[in-house]
Structure 1
Amino acid sequence: MPASDHLAPGAPTPDQQPAASGVHAALLELRARAEKRRHLVTQATESYTPEEVRRLVQELQVHQIELEMQYEELLLAQGETQAARAQYVDLYDFAPVGYFSLSATGQIEQLNFCASKQLGTVRQRLVGRRFALFVAPAQRLEFGQFLARVLSSESTQSMELQMMRDDGTYFYGQLEGLRTDTSAGPQCRLAVLDATTRREAVTALAASETRFRKLFNESNDAVALLQGHLFVDCNDAALRLLGARHREQLVGKSAWSCAPERQPDGRRTIDLFRDSITEALRYGSKRCQALMRQASGEEIWLEASLTPIELGGDTPVVHIMWRDITAERDARQELQQGKEFIESLLDNSVDGIIAYDRTLRINTWNTEAARCFGVAAANALGRTLFEVLPYLEDKEAHELINRALAGERVDRLNQPFQDRPGNYDVHLVPLRPDDRAEPNGVLAIVRDVTERNRLAEEATRQRLRRQQAVLSAILTTQESERKRIAEALHNGLGQLLYAAKLSLERTGQTTRTHGPLKLLDEAIRTTRTLSFELTPGVLEDFGLRTALETLAERLAPANLPVRLHLAGLDGERLSTAVEITVYRTVQELLNNVMKHAEATEVEVHVAREDGHLYVSVEDNGHGFDAATLATQPLTGIGLAGVRNRVALLGGQLSVNSRLGQGTIVSFELDV
């Protein structure tokens, strides 16, 4: 549809009105000069002297020049008007923002190309429809109040609400409305901007801040915030680690206030802290170890991870995470004694073996682990687990590792590989020097289960194929049996009833048997209806469109108007299986509406487009809670049979219903 189709015929745009007025005035002036020139030309010259005639000719020449200049100005104004119109069309129809013109009742009178894309359908289907139909049902009242504010105010009104596309998907829209008065009455000019990304970003930011605060306060790891060289905040774990009772014992103090003046290697502690902070600010993070002193005077070894988290301003904030590595330093020496022997054994294992200490620093990484994760042992040993495999770090992973470090055996099954297809099982086994000691590390046993999963999936696919074959045979048998019963009703019982009627009529006992004849007519009609419902010959003879139209006509006596929207069904016919499935599905859904929905109208959409067939049945009945379909077994065989038919052709039935708001049942098939 061209962009210019949205403009009212003969109605100049705001940019065109001044130009149009100027052109009109120029035309009037040009006509007046032409009339004056015609008057001069038609005058008789016999009564004029040669001098007067010469002046008249000069005046005519001047008028001719003026007319030519006026004509050129007129052409220039016309060009400017056309350029202004093209610019308006480009600014309106191809703007990256959706523009709507709504009537006082909220009907869409005009919209641009972006607006039709936002609502997910072509403009021809949107003009004349109520805008509120594309607003989430829960916010339609708010939109009505917004429209009332726009129409009663001279200023721009704004709001954000959840909108619904034509296919039922949702997005968030930022609405800007302004009232304008037209000859037909007040109108709402509405601009709609898709604010889904912005809303998701704001929600994610708030959730991230909440998670960070919860992680900071409730983390089992000691965390402190350093601004400049002073502590500005810390969590309870940091206080426990340093043996402090109150935050005032740490907050406001220098970073080296809880450490001896010099480290065991002779380096000044103040130099160690300053250099570490400088490197963290320069490179984004810094990990170091230092000998610290608790409030009781006991010395402990801590590993600190320094990460700048706020670089703005003159004094950036640095996030410090402390880990007590005193026990790990001692345990590392013991583990080193048997390291070579253990590595020779582990490298011959069919499972990937990874061992790390309480600081998550890896000290064992065998050949199978290198194959599984694509990281050589030389690049993994001595680094922490999340440095080697950063994509594994999340809250759940920390929880599992803490459970393993606490002495619990943890299993995590069927995890996907990051850099190659396949899955693996991992078993976290606490490493203890003896049965009663606290674990000083974790042994991770990784087993590649890709081949096992492939065999299981193949077995599942074979089982599904067998199930589909059985279901197909059942449905085919059902259709054959329906056809046999229908033929028996039509050719057997129907003919007998009709013969009985003719026999009664020929006996001349019409008056006395008027009641029986009426009953026979009703029985014949019922027999024909049952025969049609069992196997509609019109579907086989004339195709899906005619069969659906006939089905809708047969429902007319039931006082249930059925509106059919059929598209793309007039060309090449669909396969027999698809036509039967669509017909039986629509038939079953319409029967359900008549029996249970208490609806006053039903809309059936069947559209074939680009190799896909879209089918939906929508009613305005009392609806039901669709969530119960996923948690409770289906009662009856209607909806279950429909779902099986659709699944047999590779589709998936979608049921969307709300109490008091009707039901939409839809599916899509590849044809």
Structure 2
Amino acid sequence: MHDPDSDEMLATLRRKAESLATDALPAEAAAMSAEALARLVHELRVNQIELELQNEELRRTQSELAQTRDRYANLYDFAPAGYFTLDTRGVILEANLKGSTMLGIPRTELIGKPFGVRVARLDQTAFHAGIGRTLDTGLPQTLEVRLTRRDGSRFYAELTTEICTSQDLPPAQTTLRMMVADVSLRCEANETMRQASLILEASPAYLIRYPVIDGDPGPVSFVSSNIARFGFSREDLLSGERSPRSLVHPEDLPRVEAALRDQAASGRNAFALDYRILTKNGQVRHVTDRVQFTRNAAGAVIDVQGLVLDVTESVLARRDLETVLDSAPIPIVKVRLAESGDRILEYQNPAAERIFGPMNLGKSCKAYLCNKETCPVLTDASGLVRDRECSVTTLDGERIMYKTARKLPGAPYIIEAMIDVTELMRTRERLTKAMEASQTANRAKSQFLATMSHEIRTPMNGIMGMLELATATELTPEQHEYIDLARQSAQNLLEIINDILDFSRVEAGRMELARRPFAVRATLEGCLRLFDGLAARHGNSLVLAVDQAVPKILIGDPGRLAQVVGNLISNGLKFTKKGTVRVTVAPVMPLPGTDGRQPAAPVGLLFSVADDGIGIPPDKQERIFDYFTQLDASLNRGAGGTGLGLSISKSLVELMGGRLWVQSTPGQGSTFFFNAPFDLPEKAPQHGQTPATAPTAGATVPPMSILLVEDNFINQIVAKRLLERRGHVVTAVDSGAAALELLATTPFHCVLMDVEMPGLSGPETLAQLRDPARFGEAAQTPVVALTAHALKGYRERMVEAGFDDYVPKPIDMHELDAALTRIANGAGSRTDRP
């Protein structure tokens, strides 16, 4: 405390000391005696000593005060809780080190800032309300809020605020002292306990605890409320009305009590028991009890806690599974994966036991159950392998099994189910052999058809060529009639051959459609011209009517369209005498407008071929589309045919995307209908233009120098004479070697080369001709393949072999003229010919 009297004495002594030091004694000192003066000096010296003692004590006091202040500062800064001084608005005036560390913000940045900004938004109302209550009541307030650190993380804190009282502060300036304690661990523990309690209450297990008194279970000290799942209330057990023993099924009680005694004597503190309990209404439930012992210092059990889980559904399901496994007709086994890598048979159902015997349990399964060193299911990422074919050894010897194996997740076990497919595998082997034999037979059939096509078409080419040459000579009317009849018979024979080849293609699924622009009317008119002679012989007339709305140019396969229409016309003419066969074409869906846009859907056309013939009975109208089916022989004996035309036409129409059907009345005629979709060209041809199709019969081919390579003498004569009549200069040879020898010295506009020749074949001859080092410019001579082969894909094979074009035999001069025209149009850029 401050002493005023001591200050006054010190001031008087200071004045006296100053007077003595300056020898300026006061006036009264002059009148003093020497004795009085000595006393004065002595007094000054005594006071000086006292003053020095006081100074020493003052310095000691100041040092102690500094040490006390340092200790206070350390206690303040390093206290286990944060301390803040706030004004009445909540602005931070002072903060200790712990408080700034909690918030992750330096103290210099905290001073002058509102503490409320560090409080979570949802807790700010409670924070400000707590400060208000502290100021209103003057009493400390405690509340729990969430605070936000600088890095954005949050923690739970307990805030205690009180009014700060200090004599150093003026009465009008009120401040608050706030202590902040991090209670995150406590809140998390409370939340964990709350969640655990919720989980426990929602689970099918209940928790029960009871003491052990003199070796016997005492009254229940705790039981969770979900004991109600079994019909009991907590009060039933906590009141002592029921003991833990009363819950156990009477039949299982001796076993449970014996197990508890044995486990207590063994020193174990945790184990599991499976038993049954009786609910309050007498229902039996299966449970698993996770028992935990608490022992005293002497090791005696003093408390028992049990977590009792209802496992009735799983027990019943396991029993159902055992029933299924026992009654399953297929072998099912469980294999354990040993640490050594071996696989040990742990379980087999009765079906497996009947196959493998009862002596294999506990033994390695590699010797009989699987012939693989590593089970494939272990290397598969999914842990599941289905339909794995495996050879196994059974009591009956080697068998083939299809296995489905699954590795149990989290357990070293594999479950395998097996199906004996030994007989199935043997059947599959037999079927494979049969299929291979069938494929061999099919290849043989294709080869046979190819050979027959070549062998039949080669003489047919000679017959028809010679007949065509004969018609150009001077003949009597009778001779001309005979030759014309022979030519028609040859044409009919060729149609039969074509039908058989088309049937082979359809049957093998190898029929394909071309896709090119064509003129509908021109295609159909050309088709009708082929039947003018046949119609005239029977006194029939052919009529074609094309609706004006049908586009002039379409995209599709004109050859197959003409084939279908031709088959239907031929069929109508066969059964019509002195009548009419009418071919009509009309659109079946709206056509695009005239703005040039392409329609979203193909153009659909409806074709009909009607005749005035004998008609078809209703019971045979569907059968006529079957292969090799004809009307009654008594009705069509003279018509002939293979019975393939309509069936092939039906297949072709379906391949186009349409449908073929018939409407007929016996005695009044028949009408065959079919529809087919076509596309429009992207840009319609200008007026007067026609699509790029083969030249018509009247087209003129410029004279050319042609090398004919044909080993058949008759066909050589036919082709040479036909070409010479058109003004071409033809040189004929009978082998590929002779052709190469001639081409090495003589230029030609083109070469017509037979494909099948003895010695060098057509493709082999062509391959040598294309060598520019040997033949120079002649290596670029266009070569047209002549072949009696007409099977699917042969044209493509010839183009891939390097031929420039392809003409089948018997030679159709329209096709040959078209090929020569294409050669002539492109030959001038290759080389100049004489």
Identify the TM-score tier after normalising by the shorter chain: 0.3 to 0.5
Which of the pair has more CA radius of gyration? Answer: 2
Q: Give the TM-score taking structure 1 as reference length.
A: 0.40
Greater helix share, structure number: 1
TM-score of the two chains, using structure 2 as the length reference = 0.33
